[in-house]
Structure 1
Amino acid sequence: MNTASLSHREKLLAFAGILTVLFLSSLNLTVVGSAMPRVIADLGGFHLYAWAFTAYSLATTVTIPVVGTISDKYGRRPLILLGILIFALGSVGLGFVQSMEQLIILRAVQGIGGGTLMAMSFTAIADLFTPIERGRYQGYTGAVWGVSSVVGPLVGGFLTDHLGWRSVFFVNLPFAVLAAFFVWRFFRLPAPGAKGKFDALGAALLAGTVVSLTLAMSWGGGTYAWGSGRILGLLAVTVLLGAAYGWHSRRQERPILDLRLLRDRGIAVASFAGFLMSAGMYAAILYLPLYMQGVRGSSASGSGLALTPLMVGLIVTSTISGQIVSRTGRYKWLINVGALVAAGALFLSASLSLTTPLWIAVGLMVLLGFGLGPVNSQLTLAVQNAAPREKLGSATSGNQFFRQIGGTLAVSLFGALVNSQLAQNLGAQLPAAATALPAQFQDAVANPNLLTSAQAQEQLGGALGQLGHAELLTPILNALRSVMVGAIDHVFLISAVLVALAFVLTLVLPERPLATRPVKAAKDGAVAAD
């Protein structure tokens, strides 16, 4: 794709639009979480709470590979603008919902827009800049993601408290308008024009695979037992549809998720390493706040700032690593070191206890951010540097797809592990009087949210007081903290092993020279400079 028609100023303005697009999609992931408890209180339907997130994640995962392939033919600009429109319409609709069912449907609509924006943001950077320049600008994307992760909970909490939870969904609109203007005005590049028809059957098979896998992972161990007929049936459907997609895609000129790209060692290593690295990322996002807020009672509880140290580390190294790559042309060693640091931080985090000084816990969060920063951004660069020009969108979105699937599996694995630890060990830690409480109290006692919700503690305390056992609340909380910290340590240990495997994988990642000029399509899949 020829970018010579764009001046350096125009490229930077187009990049500003891409960063705004990325900020829009990533901000949504965190800002909504702060409002959801109030949404549930207003609309009811607590049993559908998880679906507000599952619907978005599912729609995003399905959309990413589809739009990546389409963009290789029609270009990124029209899809980015369409993604902004869908995302904005979904946001407006969410501001007027009257039931949880409506909210779930519109979260899925929003997820289609969000998946489009996420996939196109990273691919568009490859369109705007030469391979040697991409490292710097991919590094900025990590910084934007980190900033949105810190700002999102603060904005969401403030708006929910002062303007009501519906305002949270309207905060996206100014960024959507700004992003649309920059992309429409400055991102003017010709479409790649890749040949081949849209593979509708392949899209349906891949979507069915993702939906059945996501449902199995979301319901397994919670709504239904892992050995139940429904979960086993969903897993069987996943395998069958996945196998059918693999067979079908081999016969397509332009499959939705081009598995043939994995024949390139660079793309395969970067994709599977990203899949494994998602475990470390999700372990931190899900369980570091629970440790800091619930187990240790940090003042960050309820403020949305529990992940700030992690994101500070990620912002710093993501930005610096991008500058180093653009100056030296070397990216492999940064990925290697980052994965090793992340694995080490997770191994050390597996020793967190009830008495660990908070400064050590904060330090480990910063260290983990230092490791994740260069890996997240430079793995994308490695994929783009290995992909043939005419399949750049498919390769980039494929890498994002594998990370999404890795995150879905990690969430389910860690959730099942924590539930198992609670079921096995909590009874032995509770005082005898607590184990003899009526059955309706047992679920409340074993609920991890009891550690982070003052309202849940107040409700349980009041109920215990009515039974004449108000004194049991403190020992129940202490027992839950003791078991939970052990479960969290197991989560960190398993994620450390997975990230260590990612580190080993990155050792065999081929480092191809980064061209200083735009690349053109190569028939054999290699990257050729002009």
Structure 2
Amino acid sequence: MTHRDKMQAFAGVLLVLFLASLNTTVVGTALPRIIADLGGMNVYTWAFTAYTLAQTVSIPVYGKLSDLYGRKPVLLFGIALFTLASALGGLSQSMGFLIACRALQGLGGGALMSMAFAAIGDLFTLTERGKYQGLNGAVFGVSSVLGPLLGGFLTDHLSWHWVFFVNVPVAVLAFWFIARFFPAKRERGEARIDVLGALLLTAAVVPLLLALTWGGTTDPWTSPKILGLLAFAAACTAAFVTWQARTPSPILALNLFRNPTFTFANIAGFFSTAGLYAAILYLPLFMQGVRGVSASNSGIVLAPLMLGMIVTSTVAGFIVSRVGRYKPAILAGLVVMTGALFFGTRLTPDTATSVVVGLMIVLGLGLGPTGSLFTLAVQTSSPRAQLGMATSANQFFRNMGGTIGAAVFGAVQANHLHALPTLLASSTRALPSSLAVAVADPNILSNPSALAKLHAAVAPLVGEAGFARILATMRGVLTDAVTNVFLLAGLGMTVALLVTLALPNLNLKSVRPQPETPRAPEVEAKPLAGVGVRER
């Protein structure tokens, strides 16, 4: 391919990634309006959960399929499915139908997210991949900022239906670019699809994610429902691993884990993504709930973090392509993120907004290199015939890290907020029971109109000084919850940092070209630590 051909194909890849990452944030701001039109408050969270479940489960499957049939058909299928689901979602007349469309979107989104990163391996050499993976990370950051803004604008000025319809023209353009410019892969001969492996993976991941979504919220962690889901997920995971070790054409070849680069990059990616979720979930909560800063949507609150990520993702990618080493950039990013998360444990209700914004920027600066370079590390050390599988595995483990991290952080937060009624008991003694219950609801803090109504009802009974004490107690408890989340996330990021220290320091400029076709089935492959690389 000529350089121009590569750039045109890469433009299609960027459109694919923009489409997939935009969708993860653009719907959130429209959901209150959707609920008002369609009803279904009791299934509100399923608009997110259905998409996440379908996307996470499908990512490894698409990785394997792309190794068998090439990235191009998987990309085109994913775009087509995503477009269909978006159009149908915009036409929804019931919440149940909308949730089904979101699940269908997730199945398409799994192909888009996994292939957007794997496709870089088909288009560019090892030394070129760093800067283009970095640009992928930058596009992800841009779309994360634009998504909530665009969602709010479309909902306010057109209707919530356009939050789904807006995907269609972008998808059509991406489809054309991929169909016209992305190279087709040469046939490899007979291919076998691991259907049983896909079913076992689904049976393992779906109950686990459901347990993590419901645990501590709709059901106690010790309830038979949650424990049953976790037990079933564990049994299916064991069955999946056993089957992957026996089948000649696995979805996730276990021999990849013999490669220290693959293993360490995925472990570090798991923990670092959990740390990212601490930032993107709890910094906005602190800003709005504790500092009382009004933000029209989460995109504005997180804009400084994403700005930092865009800068370092791009710069780190270009530096790695020039010097040929990715480990120093990853370590630098993890050191910055670890320090920033531990600094977050020092937040107080009196912390200046400028300090929090600075913390967001620093976190983003650390996030940039890790977001794309772990993928580069996995691709560098994996056989070309398993490139899609290895890249998708990296995306899968990072998705799981974020989901599990969010569940653990939610449990930490809930544990702290559980003590709020007791801490407020002396200050709310003069209030009617209904008002005392309302005061103990921490959600009030991030809802300015509800807080104003509460003030109007409570202040005449306890006085302005009494209401100020109640508010200070609530904000203090929420601050303690957020800082403990940052402490736990900082410890997890420390694990990621220590694991990355053991990551082989491969030199991209000395890696030998990888073969197009393996000579042995994946299950019989030799250890990969020394295949096509010189580890240092």
CA–CA separation in structure 1 for the residues paired with 2:148 and 2:271: 26
Contact 1:135 1:322 in 2 (8 A): yes
CA–CA separation in structure 2 for the residues paired with 1:11 and 1:447: 54
Aligned to 2:522: none
CA–CA separation in structure 2 for the residues paired with 1:460 and 1:165: 30
Contact 1:414 1:491 in 2 (8 A): yes
Q: Deviations over 1:288-344 (max 9, x none)?
A: 111112211224354730001111110110000000011010110111111111000
Aligned to 1:356: 351
One-letter amino acid of the counterpart of residue 472, structure 2: N
Contact 2:149 2:297 in 1 (8 A): no
Mapping for residues 474-485 of structure 1, pairs under 5 Å: 475-485=469-479
Please state if 1:170 is matched with 2:174. no
Matched residue SS, 2:216: coil
One-letter amino acid of the counterpart of residue 266, structure 2: S
CA–CA separation in structure 1 for the residues paired with 2:427 and 2:163: 45
Give structure 1 stretches of 5+ with no counterpart: 1-5
Q: Deviations over 1:47-90 (max 9, x none)?
A: 21111111111101001000000110101111111111111111
Aligned to 1:67: 62
Aligned to 2:532: 528
Aligned to 1:47: 42
Of residues 190-199 and 242-251 in structure 1, the stretch that sits farther from structure 2 once superposed is 190-199
Alignment equivalent of 1:125, drawn from 97, 120, 128: 120
Q: Specify whether residues 316 and 432 from structure 1 end up closer, same or farther in structure 2 by C-alpha distance, changes over 3 A only.
A: same
Please state if 1:10 is matched with 2:5. yes
Please state if 1:342 is matched with 2:346. no
Please state if 1:322 is matched with 2:317. yes
One-letter amino acid of the counterpart of residue 273, structure 1: A
One-letter amino acid of the counterpart of residue 88, structure 1: T
Q: Deviations over 1:455-475 (max 9, x none)?
A: 43356557769x967967655
Please state if 1:105 is matched with 2:100. yes
Contact 2:435 2:458 in 1 (8 A): no
Alignment equivalent of 1:181, drawn from 171, 176, 181: 176
Aligned to 1:284: 279
Aligned to 1:499: 493
One-letter amino acid of the counterpart of residue 452, structure 1: S
Mapping for residues 72-111 of structure 1, pairs under 5 Å: 72-111=67-106
Mapping for residues 192-207 of structure 1, pairs under 5 Å: 193=188, 196-207=191-202
Of residues 17-26 and 93-102 in structure 1, the stretch that sits farther from structure 2 once superposed is 93-102
Alignment equivalent of 2:400, drawn from 401, 405, 410: 405
Aligned to 1:382: 377
CA–CA separation in structure 2 for the residues paired with 1:110 and 1:355: 42
Mapping for residues 410-421 of structure 1, pairs under 5 Å: 410-421=405-416
CA–CA separation in structure 2 for the residues paired with 1:148 and 1:192: 35
CA–CA separation in structure 2 for the residues paired with 1:463 and 1:87: 48
Matched residue SS, 1:227: coil
State the 1:453 CA deviation: 2.1
TM-score normalised over the length of structure 1: 0.94
Give the RMSD, CA atoms, in angstroms. 2.2
CA–CA separation in structure 1 for the residues paired with 2:463 and 2:71: 61
Matched residue SS, 1:222: coil
Number of aligned residue pairs: 522
CA–CA separation in structure 1 for the residues paired with 2:450 and 2:94: 23
One-letter amino acid of the counterpart of residue 256, structure 2: L
State the 1:259 CA deviation: 2.9
Q: Specify whether residues 449 and 510 from structure 1 end up closer, same or farther in structure 2 by C-alpha distance, changes over 3 A only.
A: same
Please state if 1:250 is matched with 2:245. yes
CA–CA separation in structure 2 for the residues paired with 1:345 and 1:430: 35
Q: Specify whether residues 431 and 20 from structure 1 end up closer, same or farther in structure 2 by C-alpha distance, changes over 3 A only.
A: farther
TM-score normalised over the length of structure 2: 0.93
Aligned to 1:3: none
Contact 1:76 1:191 in 2 (8 A): no
CA–CA separation in structure 2 for the residues paired with 1:431 and 1:37: 35
CA–CA separation in structure 2 for the residues paired with 1:36 and 1:451: 20
Of residues 511-520 and 356-365 in structure 1, the stretch that sits farther from structure 2 once superposed is 511-520
CA–CA separation in structure 2 for the residues paired with 1:451 and 1:263: 49
Of residues 102-111 and 428-437 in structure 1, the stretch that sits farther from structure 2 once superposed is 428-437
Q: Specify whether residues 326 and 192 from structure 1 end up closer, same or farther in structure 2 by C-alpha distance, changes over 3 A only.
A: farther
Give structure 2 stretches of 5+ with no counterpart: 520-525
Alignment equivalent of 1:56, drawn from 51, 55, 62: 51
CA–CA separation in structure 2 for the residues paired with 1:100 and 1:205: 29
Alignment equivalent of 1:140, drawn from 126, 135, 150: 135
Of residues 512-521 and 28-37 in structure 1, the stretch that sits farther from structure 2 once superposed is 512-521
One-letter amino acid of the counterpart of residue 398, structure 1: A
One-letter amino acid of the counterpart of residue 135, structure 1: G
Identity of counterpart residues, as a percentage? 51
